[in-house]
Amino acid sequence: MSDVKIEISELRKSFGELEVLSGVDQRIEAGEVVCVIGPSGSGKSTFLRCVNLLEQPTSGRIVVDGVELTDPDADIDAARTRIGMVFQQFNLFSHLSVLRNLTVAQRKVLGRDRVKAEETARENLRRVGLAAKENATPAQLSGGQQQRVGIARSLSMDPDVMLFDEPTSALDPELVGDVLDVMRGLADEGMTMLVVTHEMQFAREVADRVLFMDGGAIVEQGRPADVIGNPQRERTRHFLARVLNPTHAVSAVESDSDHG
Amino acid sequence: MAVQTRPATSGMSKRQRAKIGRGVQYAVLLAVVVVAALLADWGRLQDQLFNLEVARALFPTVLTTALLNTVLYTASGFALGLGLALVLALMRMSSVAPYRWISGAYIEFFRGLPALLVFLSVGIGIPTAFNNVSFNRNVTVMIALGIVGSAYMAETIRAGIKAVPNGQLEAARSLGMSHGRATVTVVIPQAFRIILPPLTNELILLTKDSSLTFVLGATLAQQELTQFGRAAMTTYPGMTPILVVGLCYLVITIPLSVLQQRLERRFGPDGR
């Protein structure tokens, strides 16, 4: 086996009485692209947010790059510099220009000098096709552009792993493609990626592995052609039928999961 | 003029009635102005309130001493108050409980006291209680105004910090910033943009509160606008000094409002 980037064992998370994750195990190897699908409330976003400890797990073990993050003595800030995170709502720093969004953490966390930080920032803006926008403020950008800046901001820290929390869910449909193209490019370059998404087409084409989550657990996982193309579990079939055919034009739950 | 698009039905249309209503309101306003103008004793008013000779006699001291002192007292008090308020706001949100208690008690205490009492306590209470402690008068003024302003501004700043979306903090943390670093670099700058209007409010309030320095006593060179105006009224007949001094306050506060609007526009409609 090649080297393991993320290793999660017996991950549990409760909010008060409500158990959101009920024992999740997962190993993600270097360069793997893993897409997490599932109905809302299935715990998939919480799962992703536990990986960089934005949510503190109730119990379980999370190891990224050989560092156990769930160890109370772990330097979580240092670990997070190697784990990029892209948010559904972009969360660009609204008081800073695009360029400064990309340089601020490089300078204040990694201690890079201005020249080096801006060089890295411009390189990553080019990578997401927004080199011309470095002086814009986030409010001047479309949602799709903001999300690409969000990706470039994470990439500027030179992460080993990228987490995507429904990166296209807040976008107008015509803007989704540009963001997915950037993510596809990253996958091709060999970035290790964990992506919570509703974009089944993207999961099919780009993912090495798809996890279907429901009720706080991984119900089914495997190659996308299997999980999405030929789901074995009833819950997976039911979910895919609703996602791929939301208007119920054809009666649900057959091998109709091949969308149009 | 207005074209009737509909055949007139019985009575007046809604638009006609609104038109008449507006006409009545203008008529009432006009009547009040005319009556006031007729009843006023213009000769005496000019003599007592708009006496140009008296006004001329007040210049330039009203600007070079009184206005300048008001600005200096306010600026120093505001600077101290803002710094204190920021510390208090952060303390009030601290995970260390005693910090929250201290900050909460301070805010409740000084927010509830009249500014005059604070001035008396700082100016007279402290030197009395601690025999050897006596501040320079300017420092006393700064401390008193700073305390008065800080209690209000602490709550304003806390509200601003809470208004910054949590996603901003999460994004900063996910890039490896510590909680403190993220607060300083990302949250506080955005909070200040949100609270610019109430902060300007507080600065204007402090400008007026600086008139309370009279309780500390003042030499001629230490007089601020209000005290200067009152002193001038004992020298000159009539109320003209009060009018002049009042206009001087507006000379300070109106530019502040304009500056606030400029800054708000510059920072733009904050895109979230």
pLDDT digits (tens, 9 = 90+) for B180-208: 999 999 999 999 999 999 999 999 999 99
- The backbone torsions φ and ψ at residue A185, rounded to the nearest 5 degrees and listed phi first, read -60, -40
How high is the pLDDT of residue A252? 45
3-state secondary structure of B225: helix
Residue A248 buriedness (CB in 10 A; 0-12 / 13-18 / 19+): exposed
Chain B neighbors of A93, CB-CB under 8 A = 168, 171-172, 186, 190
3-state secondary structure of A72: coil
* Domain locations along chain B: 52-267
Put simply, whether A167 touches B (Cβ < 8 Å) is: no
Residue among A87, A226, A240 nearest A170 (CA): A87
Residue of B nearest to A77 (CA): B176
| Span A226-240, average pLDDT | 94
A176-196: per-residue pLDDT in tens?
A: 999 999 999 999 999 999 999
Distance CA B272, CA B254 (A): 30
Chain A neighbors of B171, CB-CB under 8 A = 85, 87, 91-93, 150
Residue among B256, B227, B255, B253 nearest B242 (CA): B227
| Kind and range of the H or E run holding A202 | helix A200-206
| Span B207-226, average pLDDT | 92
Residue A159 buriedness (CB in 10 A; 0-12 / 13-18 / 19+): buried
pLDDT above 90 for B270: no
Q: How far is CA B152 from CA B138, B157, B205, in A?
A: 22, 9, 11
Q: What is the mean pLDDT of chain B?
A: 90
Test mutation, B169, B175, B187, chain A, max A CBs within 10 A? B175
Contact between B175 and A153 using a beta-carbon 8 Å cutoff: yes
Q: For residue A168, give both structure tokens.
A: 């296209």
Q: Is B147 left (phi over 0), alpha (psi -120 to 50) or beta?
A: alpha
pLDDT above 90 for A57: yes
Maximum alpha-carbon separation in chain B: 89
Put simply, whether B180 touches A (Cβ < 8 Å) is: no
Distance CA A212, CA A220 (A): 5
Q: How close is the nearest chain A Cα to the Cα of B80, in Å?
A: 25
One-letter-per-residue 3-state SS of B119-137: HHHHHHHHHHHCCCCCCCH
Residue B246 buriedness (CB in 10 A; 0-12 / 13-18 / 19+): middle
- Please answer whether residues A29 and A202 qualify as being in contact, where contact means their C-beta atoms are separated by less than 8 angstroms: no
Q: Among A87, A108, A139, whose Cβ lies nearest the Cβ of B171? A: A87
Contact between A91 and B186 using a beta-carbon 8 Å cutoff: no
Confidence bin at B217 (pLDDT 50/70/90)? confident
Contact between A94 and B170 using a beta-carbon 8 Å cutoff: no
How high is the pLDDT of residue B8? 52
- Please answer whether residues A162 and A130 qualify as being in contact, where contact means their C-beta atoms are separated by less than 8 angstroms: no
Contact between A77 and B176 using a beta-carbon 8 Å cutoff: yes
How high is the pLDDT of residue A219? 96
Beta strand A161-165 with A192-196 is: parallel
How high is the pLDDT of residue B151? 93
3-state secondary structure of A240: helix
How high is the pLDDT of residue A102? 97
Distance CA B224, CA B76 (A): 14
- Please answer whether residues A212 and A220 qualify as being in contact, where contact means their C-beta atoms are separated by less than 8 angstroms: yes
**Residue with more model confidence, A2 or B34:** B34
Q: Which residues pair with A15 in a beta bridge?
A: A18
**Residue with more model confidence, B231 or A1:** B231
Distance CA B174, CA A53 (A): 9
How high is the pLDDT of residue B123? 86
Domains and CATH numbers, chain A: 4-244 (3.40.50.300)
Chain A neighbors of B176, CB-CB under 8 A = 77-78, 80-81, 105, 109-110, 157
Taking the CB of residue A96, how many other CB atoms lie within 10 A of it? 18
Distance CA A128, CA B96 (A): 43
Residue A49 buriedness (CB in 10 A; 0-12 / 13-18 / 19+): buried
Distance CA B255, CA B194 (A): 20
3-state secondary structure of B8: coil
How high is the pLDDT of residue A100? 97
Contact between B176 and A153 using a beta-carbon 8 Å cutoff: no
Range from A137-146, A250-259, B40-49 carrying the lowest mean pLDDT: A250-259
pTM: 0.83
Q: How close is the nearest chain B Cα to the Cα of A116, in Å?
A: 17
- pLDDT over 90 percentage in chain A: 92
Which of the listed CATH numbers 3.90.76.10, 1.10.3720.10, 3.30.1330.10, 3.30.365.10 matches domain B52-267?
Answer: 1.10.3720.10
- Please answer whether residues B175 and A80 qualify as being in contact, where contact means their C-beta atoms are separated by less than 8 angstroms: yes
Contact between A80 and B176 using a beta-carbon 8 Å cutoff: yes
Range from A162-176, A212-226, B100-114, B253-267 carrying the lowest mean pLDDT: B253-267
Q: What is the mean pLDDT of chain A?
A: 93
Put simply, whether A80 touches B (Cβ < 8 Å) is: yes
Chain A neighbors of B193, CB-CB under 8 A = 95
- Complex ipTM value: 0.91
Put simply, whether A124 touches B (Cβ < 8 Å) is: no
Confidence bin at A35 (pLDDT 50/70/90)? very high
Taking the CB of residue A119, how many other CB atoms lie within 10 A of it? 14
Chain A neighbors of B189, CB-CB under 8 A = 95
B73-82: per-residue pLDDT in tens?
A: 999 999 999 9
| Kind and range of the H or E run holding A175 | helix A173-188
Residue among A203, A183, A81 nearest A127 (CA): A183
Q: How far is CA B148 from CA B11, B109, B151, in A?
A: 61, 10, 6
pLDDT above 80 for B5: no
Per-residue DSSP letter, B103: H
pLDDT above 80 for B272: no
Buried b (16+ CB within 10 A) or exposed e, B32-69: eeeeeeeeeeeeeeeeeeebeebbebbeeebeebbbeb
- DSSP 3-state percent helix, strand, coil across chain A (nearest 5): 35, 25, 40
